[in-house]
Amino acid sequence: MAAPLTSIDNLSLMTLTPDDVDHVAALARLGLDAAERRRLGAELEAILQHISVLQRVDTSDVAETAQVGDLVNVMRDDEVGPCLGAAAALRNAPRSDGDYFVVNAIQESEADG
């Protein structure tokens, strides 16, 4: 008996548009040129094709599993040790201001330019 058709089965029929690729790039905050968009689009298409193949695998005889291995907590006691100190921590920093690291903003808002 064939498995019921799901929206995931339609992935093999799906073709990414340039707008789809632009949307994914914007979500990932990637600035892509035209060549990179074409390459990324082809890679995303290949990923969707692989997912489509995986969705067709019959797993009806496989028990549902949330974790494939035994859960083991690896714990150690907290031990007080020597501090690194600001001078040593900043020694290889590309930029610093006094006792602080200077970094670029990781997320810019539209107000930032």
The structural domain count of the chain equals 1
**Residue 101 falls inside a structural domain:** no
The answer to whether position 93 is within a domain reads no
pLDDT of residue 106: 80
Average of pLDDT values for 24-35? Answer: 92
Contacts of 51 (CB under 8 A, 6+ apart): 8, 11
Establish if 30 belongs to a structural domain: yes
pLDDT at position 25, please?
92
Helix (H) or strand (E) holding 97: strand 96-97
Q: What's the rounded Cα separation, in Å, for the pair 11 and 50?
A: 9
Task: Please indicate, yes or no, if residue 43 is contained in any of the structural domains.
Answer: yes
Q: How far apart are CA 68 and CA 20, in angstroms?
A: 34
How much is the pLDDT for 16?
86
Specify the CATH number for the domain of residue 48: 1.10.20
From CA 60, how far away is CA 62, in angstroms rounded?
A: 6
pTM tops 0.75:
no
pLDDT in tens, 42-101: 999 999 999 999 999 998 888 887 777 787 888 889 999 999 999 999 999 999 999 999
In a domain, 2, yes or no: no
Widest CA span in the chain: 70
Alpha carbon distance 111, 113 (integer Å)? 5
In a domain, 97, yes or no: no
Q: Is the pLDDT of residue 6 over 90?
A: no
Per the domain annotation, does 103 fall within a domain?
no
Query: At residue 7, does pLDDT exceed 70?
Result: no
Q: Is the pLDDT of residue 9 over 80?
A: no
Cα 113 from chain centroid?
26
Is the pLDDT reported for residue 4 higher than 80?
no
pLDDT at 41: 93
53 found inside a domain: yes
Domain hosting residue 41, numbered range: 7-58
Helix pair 18-27, 34-55: axis angle to 10 deg: 90
